[in-house]
Structure 1
Amino acid sequence: MTFPAFLRRSRPLADHSADTRMLLLAAAALVIGTGGALGAWVLIKSIAVATNLFWFGRLSASPAAITDNALGLWLVAVPILGSLIVGLMARFGSDKIRGHGIPEAIEAILYGESRLSLKVALLKPLSSAISIGSGGPFGAEGPIIMTGGAIGSLFAQAFHLSAAERKSLLVTGAAAGMTAIFGTPIAAILLAIEVLLFEWKPRSFVPVVVGVLTAWLWRPFLIDVGPLFPAHHSLALDAEVLGIALIVGILTGSQAALLSSLLYKVEDQFVRLPLHWMWWPAVGGLAVGTGGLVDAHVLGAGYDSIQGLLSGSLPLRAAIALLVIKAAVWLVALGSGTSGGVLAPLLLLGGSLGYLLGQLLPGGSALWALAGMAGILSGAMRAPLMAALFAVELTGDFTMLPLTLAASVGAYAVSVLVMPRSILTEKIARRGRHILQEYTVDPFEFLQASQVMTEGPETLSEKMTVAEAIAFFGGQARHRSYPVVNHEGALRGLVSRSDVLCWRVGVFRDDVTLAQVLEDVSQSQGSPNDPIARLADLMVETGVGRIPIVEPVSGKVVGILTRHDLLKIRHVHRGSEVTRSRGAPPLHKQVQ
C-alpha cells in the first residue's frame, strides 16, 4: 500500500504505533525537503529578477548588485515603490505575509494547529522578493522559513494527520528551506529544535533531519556548492581568545537587546500614524531609500557585505555605515510591517560590530566579525547552539566552533538577563500570546502513581446497602467518592456523593447492596506503575476526579489518585525551581 493511500484511510493515524508514524513522516519529509529546496531556488531567482527590474530595467534572473545602479537621486523612489507593492499585496492578498516570517510560523504551530494556506505559500516569497529586490534591508531566511513551512503544512493537510504531526512536517519544510538557502544543515536542525518545535521527540526530530538532508543534497544542483561565505582563520584558540570571544558575545548580546527594544518602539510609532497599515511599508521605503543615498551597501540582503566582513576586505567606512545606517533603515523598514527576514540583517549588524572591535583585537577583524555574527544571532533569537553552528557552517571553518560558542553563550546570557523575550517571541507576545522557549521535563511524564497516590484509602464494603450508603454520605463521609471493595480488598467500583443523591429518589430499594448496584458498571482504574500523565488523561476522558489505584495481580485497592494530587505536583515542581535550601527530599516525597 502506498504512503498516500495509507494516510487517506478513514482510520486515524493515531491508531498505529509511534514507530510507524515516525517512519511515515520521515517518508513525507523526502517530498517536503525537495519542496523546500525548490522553494528556496524560486525565491533566490525571484529576488534576482526583482533586483534587475527595479534597479536596471531588465528582465533577467542573473545575480545583480544594487551598488552598481546609476539612478542617482532617483534611487529613493525604488524602495518606496517596492514597499508600496508589498503593502497592497498584504492588504488585498494576505496580511500574514507581513513581518519576519519566523514569528508567524511559530504562531501557526502553537495556535493555528500548524495550518498554513496556499495563499501564504505563494504570496510570502513573491512579496519578499519584491521587498528585497527593491532594496529592502532584509534576508531571505525568514521568507523561506515561512514558505518552506507552508509547503510542509499544505502537504500534511492533504492527509489524515494530527496537529502534532502537521507541526513536524511544517518545521521540516522550514528547516529544509533554510538549508537550501544557506547550506547550513546542522544549524537548520538546531533552529527547528530551539525555536520552532517546542519539543524533542523522534516523531519530529527524524523527519526534520530527513527533510534537511534532502534539501542539502538538492542544493548543489539548484543553488550552489560548498559554504555560502567560505573563510578560514589560523588563530590558535586559547583561554585568552575564548575570554575575548565571551566579551564580544556580551557586547553583541547587548546590541541584540537594544535592537529588539528599538524595533518594537518603531512599530509603536507606526501604529500612531494616521494612515492605514497598507501605507506603512511605503513610509519605511522612504527611510530605506534615504539610507541608500548615504551608502548603497545598506540596501538589499547584503550578502556581498557579509562576505567582505568575513574575508576582512570590507572598507572600515562601509562597516561603520552598516553598523549605524543599516541598523536604522532595517528597524524602520521592518517596523513598518513589510515582508523580510531578520537573520541576514542581524549577521551584518553583529558582524560589523565584531569587525570594528577586531581592529583592536588579536586575530584580525574577520575573525571577530564571525564571533559578532554568532553572538547577535544567539542574543536576538535565543538560539545559542543554532547561532554557534550557523556561523561556522556559513564559512566552513569548523575549527572556530569554540570561539563562536563562547560568543553565543555570552550573548545568550545577556539577552536572558535584560530581555523578557526574544526578538521573535516579543512580536507574538504583543498580540497577547506569551511564549516560553525553555524546555523542562514534565513531572507528569516521569512520576508514577505509586509516588503520588494516597496510600491505604478509605473504602466501602460491597455488602453495604443503599440505605446504609445514603446514611453514610449524609453524615460520616469525608470525601466525595469512595472505592467499593469485596472481602479480599479487590475493587468492585466507585461510589460518589452524586450517585447517592440519585438513589434517594428511589432508583434502588434500600436493601440492595453496593455489589448489586455496581454489577454491570465498568470502573476506570490505574496501577501503581502507571505514569501520572496517563491517569490525568483518564480523569479528563471519564470526568471522574478520583482514580483507584489497584495492584495488577491481586486486584486489591492500594491507593487513590485525586485532582488535588495533580495540583500538588504542579505546585511542588514549581517550588523546586525557586526554593533554595541545602537539601530537599525527592519530588514525590514532597508531594506526599
Structure 2
Amino acid sequence: MEKMNAILKKIEKWRMERISERKFILLLSLVVGALSGLAAIVLKNLIHFTIHHLTGNFSVDDVSYQYLAYPMIGILITVLLIRYVIKEDLGHGVSKILYAFSKKNSKISKHNMYSSMLTSTITIGFGGSVGAEAPVALTGAAIGSNLAQTFRLNYRAITLLAGCGSSAAIAGIFNAPLAGLLFTIEVLMIDLTMSSLLPLLISAVTATTTSYFLMGDGYHFRFSLNQSFDVNNLHWVIILGIICGLISVYFTRVMKWVEGYFKKQDRFLNRILIGGVGLGILIFLFPSLWGEGYVSINQILNGNYTDVLNNSVFYSLKNNQTLLIIVFIAILAFKVFATAITTGAGGVGGIFAPTLFMGCFAGFIFSSIVNQGSPELATENYALYGMAGVMSGVMFAPMTAVFLIAEITGGYTLFVPLLISSACAYLTILAFEKHSLYHCHLAERGELLTHNKDKTVLTLMKLRKVIETDLVTIDEEACLGDLVKVISKSKRNIFPVIDKDNNFRGVVLLDNIRSIMFNKEMYHKTSVTDLMVMPPEMVHPDESMEKVMKKFKSSGAWNLPVVENRKYIGFISKATIFSAYRSVLVHFSEE
C-alpha cells in the first residue's frame, strides 16, 4: 500500500509539472475506457459461463424443473452478499450514478468497481430476468470516479470521468461506441461540450477496441438484411412506434407497481421467497424469460422464432402459427413482471436487455399479425424497429436506441425506419410519463441533474450549507421589554419566537413593532405572542433547493424559517441563496 501511494505521488508530481489538467483528463479517459471495456468483457463472459454451466445440458424438447429453483437460489445468494458482505444497497445502477452526480459530488464507492459485476453475474446467471448493462455502467462510472478522486481532480472532472466509464462500459458490452456516447448524454445528462466530447469519445472507442481485440468483431446480435425498407410501408412503422410507446408506458408502470409491492415487504426473506417462487414459475412456463433474453432475440432475428419455445411446456405448439403468436404475446406481457420481480426481490440488474427483448417480440408479433392480411412485412426488420421503439420509450433515449440497434446489428441501412419508430414511441410515452424509470424517483425528490443548467445548479446546492443561524431568538413567554433588549443586541430585523423546548412558534418583524417599541408603558403589558406572526412558508432542511425557490416565489418572502420536527434550525434568505448559486455556477461551468 505504501509503495502504491508513493507511485501515485510521483505520478501526481509529474502531472503537475509536465502536463495540463485537460491533457491529463484525456490520458485518464483512455485508461478508464480500457478498464471499463475489460470489465464489460469479464461480466459478459462470467454470465455466459454461469448460464452454460447451469443449463447447458437441458433438452430442447423437454421441460426442465430446475427453472423453478435456480432463480430463488440466485436472488438468495445476491441478497446475502449485499446484506452481509457489501453492506450497501446497489439499487438500479444508472439511478445510483445519477444520485452520485447530484448529491455525492460524483463520488462513487470503491466497491462498486466489482460488487455490481459479482452480484449481477449471480442474479442473471441463475435466471434473473434483467440485463447486465446497468451494473456494468455503474462499474465503469465507479472506475472513472475513483481514478479521478485518486488524483484529487475537481467535481467537474470527476463527473466527466465517471461519465467516460459508463460510456465505455456500454460501448464495450455492445461493441457500440456511438451508443455509449449518446447514453451518457441522454440518460446520464452529461453536457456535450467540446471539453467533454473528446474524453467521452476516447473512452468509448478504447472500450470498443478492447472488446474487439479480446472478443472478435462479431456483432452482439446476428442479423442479415433480407428485405430493405419500403417507403410504402411507412405507416406500419409509425403504428408500431406508437404501440411501442404504449408498451413503454405499460413497462414503466408495472415496474413501479411491482417494485413498490416488494418495498412494502418488511422482511427480506419474504421478498426472496415471494420473488423466487414467482420468478421460478414464470421461467418454468416461459424459459425465454431466463436471463437477459438475447438468445431469444437472436432466434427471432434469424428466422428461428419457433426455437423460442425450446424447453417450454408449449413446445408442442411450434407448428401452430396462431397459438404460437398467443404464447409470444404472453411472453411479452410477462417479461416486465419477471424483470420487476427480479429487482424487487433483491436481484441486481438493469432494464436495457428487457426493453430490447420486449421490443423485439412486439415488432415480431405486430408484423406477423399484419402479414395475416395482404402486406408481407419482414418480421426480422420489424423486430429491430420494435427494439428501438421500446428502448427509446422506456429509457427516454431515442438517439441511444437508434444507434445502439444500428451498431449491434450492422443494420445502418434501416436507419430511417429505426428513427421513425424510436421518435413515435418517445412522443407517445411523453403524453403519459414525465420522466424515465431511471429519472422518476430522483426527479420527484428534486435530485435529478438535467441539461437545464439553472435546475442543475439548484440541485447541486445543499440547503443545510446556506442556513443562517445568527438570528437572535426570543422566548414566547417574554414581553415587549425583553424583546427590545434582544433587538438592541441584534443586527437583524427578524426575531424567531421559540418555546422552552426550542419548538418554533412564529416570528416578530421589526417593521411591525417599530411604532410601539419605545413606548415603555407597553413593555410589561404586551407579550411576544401578541406581536408575533406566522411566516407564509416554512422550509425543511432536507428539501431540494428547487422546492425552496418555489416557496419563495409563491410567498413573495425574502426570508423563511427552517424547521425540522417543529424544532427551530435557522433561517434561509434569497440573498444567501443567490450568492451560493453564483459560486456553484462558477464551479460547475469552469472549463
- Please state which band the TM-score falls in when normalised by the shorter chain: 0.5 to 0.7
Query: 8 Å contact 1:370–1:404 — kept in the other structure?
Result: yes
What code does the residue aligned with 1:8 have?
E
Give the alignment partner of residue 408 of structure 1, picking from 412, 422, 431.
Answer: 422
Query: 8 Å contact 1:187–1:389 — kept in the other structure?
Result: yes
Identity %: 28
Corresponding position of 1:44: 44
Corresponding position of 2:79: 87
Aligned counterparts of 1:191 and 1:119: Cα–Cα separation in 2: 23
TM-score, with length taken from structure 1 = 0.68
Distance 1:378 1:182, change over 3 A: same
- When the two chains are superposed, the root-mean-square deviation of aligned CA atoms in Å is 3.4
TM-score, with length taken from structure 2 = 0.68
Aligned counterparts of 1:197 and 1:384: Cα–Cα separation in 2: 14
Moved more, 359-368 or 209-218: 359-368
Distance 1:262 1:246, change over 3 A: same
Distance 1:144 1:235, change over 3 A: same
Residue aligned with 1:273, SS: coil
Note the residue ranges of structure 2 that are not aligned, 5 or more in a row: 1-6, 307-323, 458-573, 583-591
Query: 8 Å contact 1:97–1:127 — kept in the other structure?
Result: no
Corresponding position of 2:12: 8
Larger radius of gyration, structure 1 or 2?
1
Residue aligned with 2:114, SS: helix
Aligned counterparts of 2:59 and 2:296: Cα–Cα separation in 1: 11
Give the alignment partner of residue 174 of structure 2, picking from 160, 178, 182.
Answer: 182
Query: 8 Å contact 1:36–1:173 — kept in the other structure?
Result: yes
Aligned counterparts of 1:440 and 1:414: Cα–Cα separation in 2: 26
Give the alignment partner of residue 296 of structure 1, picking from 281, 284, 287.
Answer: 287
Give the alignment partner of residue 313 of structure 1, picking from 304, 311, 317.
Answer: 304
Give the alignment partner of residue 385 of structure 1, picking from 391, 399, 404.
Answer: 399
Aligned counterparts of 2:97 and 2:58: Cα–Cα separation in 1: 30
Distance 1:438 1:199, change over 3 A: closer
- CA displacement at 1:174 relative to structure 2: 1.1
Correspondences of 1:178-577 after superposition (within 5 Å): 178-276=170-268, 280-315=271-306, 316-317=324-325, 319-359=328-368, 360=370, 362-429=376-443, 432-435=445-448, 437=450, 439=452
What code does the residue aligned with 1:119 have?
H
Query: 8 Å contact 2:228–2:413 — kept in the other structure?
Result: no
Aligned counterparts of 1:399 and 1:440: Cα–Cα separation in 2: 37
Pair 1:141-2:154 in alignment: no
Residue aligned with 1:139, SS: coil
Corresponding position of 1:582: none
- CA deviations 1:471-500 (Å, max 9, x no partner) are xxxxxxxxxxxxxxxxxxxxxxxxxxxxxx
- CA displacement at 1:71 relative to structure 2: 8.0
- CA displacement at 1:51 relative to structure 2: 2.4
What code does the residue aligned with 1:422 have?
S
- CA displacement at 1:303 relative to structure 2: 1.1
- CA displacement at 1:272 relative to structure 2: 2.2
How many residue pairs get aligned? The number is 439
- CA displacement at 1:29 relative to structure 2: 1.1
- CA displacement at 1:314 relative to structure 2: 1.0
Note the residue ranges of structure 1 that are not aligned, 5 or more in a row: 57-63, 445-561, 571-592
Aligned counterparts of 1:166 and 1:397: Cα–Cα separation in 2: 35
Aligned counterparts of 2:126 and 2:207: Cα–Cα separation in 1: 28
Give the alignment partner of residue 114 of structure 2, picking from 107, 117, 122.
Answer: 122
What code does the residue aligned with 2:220 have?
L
Residue aligned with 2:106, SS: coil
Distance 1:65 1:185, change over 3 A: farther
Distance 1:68 1:238, change over 3 A: closer
Correspondences of 1:70-109 after superposition (within 5 Å): 72-94=64-86, 96=88, 98-109=90-101
Aligned counterparts of 2:171 and 2:382: Cα–Cα separation in 1: 24
Residue aligned with 2:350, SS: coil
- CA displacement at 1:342 relative to structure 2: 0.7
Residue aligned with 1:160, SS: coil
